[in-house]
Structure 1
Amino acid sequence: MRQTWRWFGPKDLVSVDDMMQAGVEGVVSALHHVQTGMVWAPAEIARRQTEIATRKDGSSSRLKWEVVESLPVSEEIKKQKGEWRTHYAAYKESLENLAEAGIETICYNFMPVLDWTRTYLAWRVSSGATCMRFDLSVFAAFDLFILKRQGAEEDYPEEIVEQARVHHATMSEVERDALAKNVVFGLPGAATNLSLADVREHLAEYDSVSPDRLRQNFIDFLSEVVPVAERLGLRMCCHPDDPPFDLLGLPRIMSTEADYRKIIKAVDSPANGVTLCTGSLGARPDNDLAGMMERMGDKVHFLHLRNVKRDTAEIRGSFCEAEHLGGDTDMVTVVAAVLREEKRRRAAGRSDFSIPMRPDHGQNILDDHTRNTQPGYPAIGRLKGLAELRGIMTALSHPSLERIAPGNST
């Protein structure tokens, strides 16, 4: 498993020097300042590579940009409206430019309107750490009484509607504004953020887009770009829905193993693969993360290793970001499954036998509380997660263990 770290560019308050001290092997980044649908120009790609390769004192960091996260897919492509065909062309040209720069792994998602969604960006837990949280009743308060989406009340159980009503009634205007901003926060580092008016406009346009229609639009997109990626030797890997269930009446099509299998089967190529995010998929109790790694492992091109703690056993429920070894996902069994897949790849002679992973998100601890980094991307909290994951990897791959048997975490 290749240890990587997400970096948002020169404005990131976790620096290149910090990444070096964390001992990471590669960097995950993107051109966040480029508007979605535009071409990633060679000069801009080269500039980001130089930034990653350079320490504060001007000396070499020896770090390289190894994974793109994300090369975003426009709403026009998802809805097949407006300039979507032009955006196809721009996406393919960006792939050409990334391949020319030597970057081979491209993470992206196909979530409509809202990328990842949380109601709290700094929820305090009993230890004093803070984390991101999704609270279904609070989200319902946003949906019902702030966004005021037509027909929203039909999408929630009666008890959630009542909890939302009470919650909204007790919120100040400042708290309501903060909730709205949290929900529409969008991808970290993104060039644009949505307003409530933007969200309402998108929702109106998605009224006629069923899950089957969105899935077909996704397949159409992949049919265009995957052949280019395969020719260039790239690995594209779709990130799952976050959270992995319906929100705002929007279609969600990448929430389960069955969803991934439909897409992989529809466009069968070594370039069409999976970003296995144990946090996003783990927010849904019927997703078997270690099993998914076993069954789809040959298509897993990128790993997000993080954990969540669910409030209930409901498919659609509240959860918070947990410590990497402290949530509902058994991270030891997941890492063991990854190591078995890497062993199979080595035996098969695959050049991509080492799967890039990053410690995704993390709780704010210690000096993180004053650093004010991107929500979910603290310095020390992520370093703690990386250290824990590194410990599992080291233990499970130790020479004293003759083999890593299925289901054996010792």
Structure 2
Amino acid sequence: MEQTWRWFGPQDPVELSHARQAGATGIVSALHHIPADQPWTDEEVAKRKAIIAEAGLTWSVVESIPVHDAIKTNGPDRRRYVDAWIASLRAVARAGVKTICYNFMPVVDWTRTDLMYPVPAGGYALRFDIIDFAAYDVFILERPNAEGSYDADVLAAARQRFEALLPSARDALEGNVIAGLPGADFHHDRVGMRRLLAAYDGITPEDLRAHLVSFLADVVPVAEEEGARLCIHPDDPPFSLFGLPRVVSTADDARAILAGVDSNANGLTFCVGSYGAREDNDLVAMVDEFAPRIHFAHLRNVRREAPKTFHEAEHLDGSSDMVGVVAGLMKEERRRRAEGRADANIPMRPDHGHLLIDDVGKRTNPGYSCIGRLKGLAELRGVMAAIDAGHA
């Protein structure tokens, strides 16, 4: 597997030289400074590619070309945003970056309630707690009819937790939940969140899935023309937030996406942590079933604590069978090589990582400090070496 590293661009506190020292050969990056309604130009793509090449690395994967909410809601400006997305796809493909990860999560991307959760061995992890989330949604954001999104026991616990929070703790929880993904071009506030959520009023999971398939019908033929591979990232976490539909959370969701536009250019990003946050997802079986259409892998692990509550675990010590997943992906690589496929190597990255040692106290993007990811990559490299040697 190609060992890659996410880099958020020149403003990332973790430098490209650090990624190279960690043993990565490929970089996963995006032009986060360009708004979602603007196409990426050949010039901007070439600048990013040159910076990465100067560091002795390869720009292997784009993560992500943002999919605007107007596409997800099938809004009146949908066509303009689709055209911008296609222009960006063509620009990166012309530059030789052929693997494009994207997501279709409404309003909020990657979401956690605690960005500094202490773990037993020392250091800090990311955590999602459904009680904390409900406390924010119902009692701080005060989303209309939010109570109906939660079971009675969760709602009662959320009320109790909210009442125990000091104002500063309420502000911190809000910042954790709606701050936005590192590198994103948005940072929500409470008023903005209410406005964005209102745009999805009346949109059902069936509607959102239809909008996704419609988007794929527009972009997959372009990817085919360009020799590119699109790979959708699963919902993170893989269940509804703020009452919004989410349609990339389960094996059934993946089947519907792949069948919606049946092309090798329409594939998956297999994120162990995202799919693994649900107990009903059998990850090893999913790799076996979807292997030919898996174009990218996020190898991170989570420890499920309770339904809809989990924290980022050690890469090899969470609730999911990481060794089994890696073995399945490497089996697919061998199959592709036997067929002579140009895309035989599946790029992977050690997604997220604990905040460890002297990274504690440094300016870092939550989940994307250097040492935790270096540790994870080293562990995963060992797993791959053992599998190659026939010991696993």
Q: TM-score range by the shorter chain?
A: over 0.9
Quote the Cα distance in structure 2 between the aligned partners of 1:151 and 1:290.
Answer: 38
Matched, 1:51 2:51: yes
Shift of 1:158: 1.7
Determine helix, strand or coil for the equivalent of 1:28. Answer: strand
Quote the Cα distance in structure 1 between the aligned partners of 2:29 and 2:65.
Answer: 10
Q: What is aligned with 2:311? A: 320
Determine helix, strand or coil for the equivalent of 2:199. Answer: helix
Matched, 1:150 2:144: yes
Q: What is aligned with 2:23? A: 23
Q: What is aligned with 1:405? A: none
Amino acid at match of 2:388: S
Quote the Cα distance in structure 2 between the aligned partners of 1:185 and 1:45.
Answer: 27
Q: What is aligned with 2:69? A: 75
Match of 1:359 among 326, 343, 350: 350
Shift of 1:275: 0.2
Amino acid at match of 2:350: P
What do residues 240-281 of structure 1 show as CA deviations (whole Å, max 9, x unaligned)? 000001111100100001101111111011110000000011
Mapping 1:11-160, distance limit 5 Å: 11-54=11-54, 61-160=55-154
TM (norm. structure 1) is 0.94
TM (norm. structure 2) is 0.98
Shift of 1:230: 0.6
Checking the alignment, whether the CA contact within 8 Å between 1:37 and 1:73 is kept in structure 2 is: no
RMSD: 1.0
Determine helix, strand or coil for the equivalent of 1:311. Answer: strand
Q: What is aligned with 1:380? A: 371
Q: What is aligned with 2:383? A: 392
Quote the Cα distance in structure 2 between the aligned partners of 1:159 and 1:62.
Answer: 54
Determine helix, strand or coil for the equivalent of 2:326. Answer: helix
Checking the alignment, whether the CA contact within 8 Å between 1:146 and 1:176 is kept in structure 2 is: yes
Matched, 1:189 2:180: no
What do residues 343-396 of structure 1 show as CA deviations (whole Å, max 9, x unaligned)? 111111111111000000011110121222111101000000000000000001
**Greater mean deviation of Cα atoms: 158-167 or 254-263:** 158-167
Q: Percent identity?
A: 51
**Greater mean deviation of Cα atoms: 295-304 or 365-374:** 365-374
Quote the Cα distance in structure 1 between the aligned partners of 2:172 and 2:48.
Answer: 32
Quote the Cα distance in structure 1 between the aligned partners of 2:209 and 2:190.
Answer: 26
Determine helix, strand or coil for the equivalent of 1:91. Answer: helix
Quote the Cα distance in structure 1 between the aligned partners of 2:118 and 2:244.
Answer: 30
Q: What is aligned with 1:211? A: 205
State how many pairs are aligned: 392
Shift of 1:9: 0.9
Match of 1:338 among 329, 335, 351: 329
Amino acid at match of 1:75: D
Quote the Cα distance in structure 1 between the aligned partners of 2:241 and 2:40.
Answer: 31
Quote the Cα distance in structure 2 between the aligned partners of 1:318 and 1:331.
Answer: 20
Q: What is aligned with 2:218? A: 224
Quote the Cα distance in structure 1 between the aligned partners of 2:370 and 2:56.
Answer: 20
Amino acid at match of 1:147: L
What do residues 148-176 of structure 1 show as CA deviations (whole Å, max 9, x unaligned)? 11221122122211211111111111111
Q: What is aligned with 2:271? A: 277
Shift of 1:126: 1.8
Quote the Cα distance in structure 2 between the aligned partners of 1:394 and 1:290.
Answer: 19
Amino acid at match of 1:233: G
Amino acid at match of 2:245: P
Checking the alignment, whether the CA contact within 8 Å between 1:4 and 1:28 is kept in structure 2 is: yes
Amino acid at match of 2:38: M
Q: What is aligned with 1:368? A: 359
Amino acid at match of 1:188: P
Determine helix, strand or coil for the equivalent of 2:71. Answer: helix
Checking the alignment, whether the CA contact within 8 Å between 1:278 and 1:306 is kept in structure 2 is: yes
Mapping 1:226-265, distance limit 5 Å: 226-265=220-259
Quote the Cα distance in structure 1 between the aligned partners of 2:273 and 2:360.
Answer: 22
Determine helix, strand or coil for the equivalent of 1:325. Answer: coil
Give unmatched runs, 5+ long, in structure 2.
none
Give unmatched runs, 5+ long, in structure 1.
55-60, 402-408
Quote the Cα distance in structure 1 between the aligned partners of 2:31 and 2:285.
Answer: 34
**Greater mean deviation of Cα atoms: 350-359 or 171-180:** 171-180
Determine helix, strand or coil for the equivalent of 2:361. Answer: helix
Quote the Cα distance in structure 2 between the aligned partners of 1:190 and 1:275.
Answer: 19
Quote the Cα distance in structure 1 between the aligned partners of 2:143 and 2:361.
Answer: 36
Match of 2:294 among 291, 300, 305: 300
Quote the Cα distance in structure 2 between the aligned partners of 1:300 and 1:219.
Answer: 18
Determine helix, strand or coil for the equivalent of 2:231. Answer: strand
Shift of 1:82: 3.5
Amino acid at match of 2:327: A
Checking the alignment, whether the CA contact within 8 Å between 1:9 and 1:51 is kept in structure 2 is: no
